[in-house]
């Protein structure tokens, strides 16, 4: 039953990865169409017999401009996704300040990882260290060449070998279940939307600060929509898209953390050791210097300090991590 459960989780994560790859582009393209439709609606205003402005939506025109922009949108997102997908390891390393180690540099952590990999019959991942006196760990990577387990120096200093084995087992289970591939896929797409929204916000701010003009057609006539209105419509659309991408990411069941806890407890053969480790980590989760909430979702426990600002608040609201106390309570039942 244990082995069937693992295979079921792997299949579920593979299916979710495919779903994410389909859902995120649909959300992006949907918001592009909505953006064009709103511009068309508010830009086509006519006065009725009573002098009131009546707006009309020209579906054919909207669809024409949508189909015209479709190759550019799809191509841009595809290139962005491909670059981010291939560069995710370097991106995460730069965000966390992690660096690789060898057995000679740290035989203790290397031997723990190697022994656990031999226990479950998986290939040895890379091992990274973050110079942080606080406690945390995460797994990352999309394939055998990039799978990595990262721990902080504080985690190694304050956890004994039993507790450290439980944490490493948890992270190795994420790799075995393909959780890391799933999370990185969501990180990239959420990053695309959040970047676009940030750019729109900055452009809107600059328009207010320096003064927004009126958009004009090719013949120099007033088109009826100010640049500020266009940017505001873009902000609403990107905010809606960002909200839906977070909901889609939330669809990555929190059960994956419980599964990783169970896998870690099984690998180290001591559920109470992992429970003890989670208690220590929750008191001082560390990695405060990581300002990217999307990368922070990889951590075994997400720091409370990440929950600041609108984007970080939304990320914490739709966090993929369950409550730590519940995780500990489940482990202590074994």
Per the annotation, the verdict on 171 as an active-site residue is yes
Q: Residue 184 pLDDT more than 90?
A: no
Identify the weakest region by mean pLDDT among 10-24, 98-112, 277-291.
Answer: 10-24
Query: Is the residue at 95 inside a domain?
Result: yes
For residue 210, how many C-alpha atoms fall within 13 Å in the half-sphere facing its CB? 8
Size of the chain in residues: 334
Beta bridge partners of 137: 151
* Catalytic option among 163, 171, 257, 266: 171
Structural domain total, the chain? 1
Query: Is the residue at 318 inside a domain?
Result: yes
Unique residue bearing structure tokens 């210097």: 289
pLDDT digits (tens, 9 = 90+) for 233-275: 778 888 888 787 777 666 665 677 888 898 899 899 899 999 9
Query: Is the residue at 20 inside a domain?
Result: no
Query: Is the residue at 50 inside a domain?
Result: no
Query: Is the residue at 70 inside a domain?
Result: no
Q: Residue 316 pLDDT more than 60?
A: no
pLDDT digits (tens, 9 = 90+) for 18-61: 776 677 778 888 888 888 888 787 777 665 566 666 667 888 88
For the stretch 126-129, contacts whose Cβ atoms lie closer than 8 Å and that sit 24 or more positions apart, written own/partner, are: 126/100, 127/100, 127/101, 127/151, 128/93, 128/98, 128/99, 128/100, 128/101, 129/98, 129/99, 129/100, 129/101, 129/153, 129/156
Q: What is the DSSP string of 156-171?
A: HHHS-HHHHHHHHHHH
In this prediction, residue 333 has a pLDDT band, given cuts at 50, 70 and 90, of confident
Write down the pTM of the prediction. Answer: 0.74
Query: Is the residue at 63 inside a domain?
Result: no
Query: Is the residue at 53 inside a domain?
Result: no
Q: Round to whole Å and give the CA distance between 167 and 136.
A: 9
Unique residue bearing structure tokens 């995120």: 24
Q: How many other C-beta atoms are found inside a 10 Å radius of the C-beta of residue 231? A: 21
| Residue 194 contacts residue 242 (beta carbons within 8 Å) | yes
- Compute CA 194 distance to the chain's CA centroid, rounded to the nearest angstrom: 10
Query: Is the residue at 309 inside a domain?
Result: yes
Domain extent at residue 137: 76-334
């Amino acid at each position: 039953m244990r082995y069937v459960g693992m295979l079921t989780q792997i299949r579920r994560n593979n299916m979710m990865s495919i779903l994410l790859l389909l859902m995120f582009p649909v959300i992006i393209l949907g918001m592009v169409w909505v953006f064009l439709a709103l511009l068309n609606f508010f830009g086509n205003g006519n006065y009725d017999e009573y002098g009131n402005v009546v707006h009309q939506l020209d579906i054919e025109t909207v669809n024409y401009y949508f189909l015209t922009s479709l190759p550019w949108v799809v191509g841009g997102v595809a290139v962005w996704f491909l670059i981010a997908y291939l560069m995710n390891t370097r991106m995460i390393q730069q965000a966390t300040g992690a660096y690789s180690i060898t057995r000679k540099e740290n035989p203790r952590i290397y031997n723990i990882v190697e022994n656990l990999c031999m226990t479950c019959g998986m290939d040895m991942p890379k091992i990274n260290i973050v110079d942080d006196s606080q406690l945390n760990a995460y797994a990352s990577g999309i394939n055998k060449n990039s799978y990595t387990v990262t721990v902080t120096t504080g985690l190694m200093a304050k956890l004994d070998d039993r507790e450290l084995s439980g944490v490493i087992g948890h992270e190795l289970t994420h790799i075995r279940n393909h959780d890391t591939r799933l999370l990185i896929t969501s990180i990239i797409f959420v990053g695309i939307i959040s970047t676009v929204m940030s750019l729109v916000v900055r452009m809107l701010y600059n328009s207010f600060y320096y003064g927004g003009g009126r958009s004009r057609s090719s013949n120099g006539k007033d088109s009826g929509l100010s640049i500020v209105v266009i940017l505001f419509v873009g902000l609403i659309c990107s905010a809606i898209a960002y909200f839906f991408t977070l909901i889609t990411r939330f669809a990555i069941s929190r059960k994956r953390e419980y599964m990783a806890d169970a896998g870690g407890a099984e690998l180290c053969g001591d559920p109470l050791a992992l429970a003890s480790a989670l208690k220590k980590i929750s008191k001082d989760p560390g990695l405060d210097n990581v300002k990217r909430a999307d990368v922070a979702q990889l951590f075994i426990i997400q720091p409370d300090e990440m929950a600041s600002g609108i984007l970080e608040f939304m990320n914490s609201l739709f966090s993929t991590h369950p409550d730590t106390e519940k995780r500990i309570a489940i482990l202590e039942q074994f």
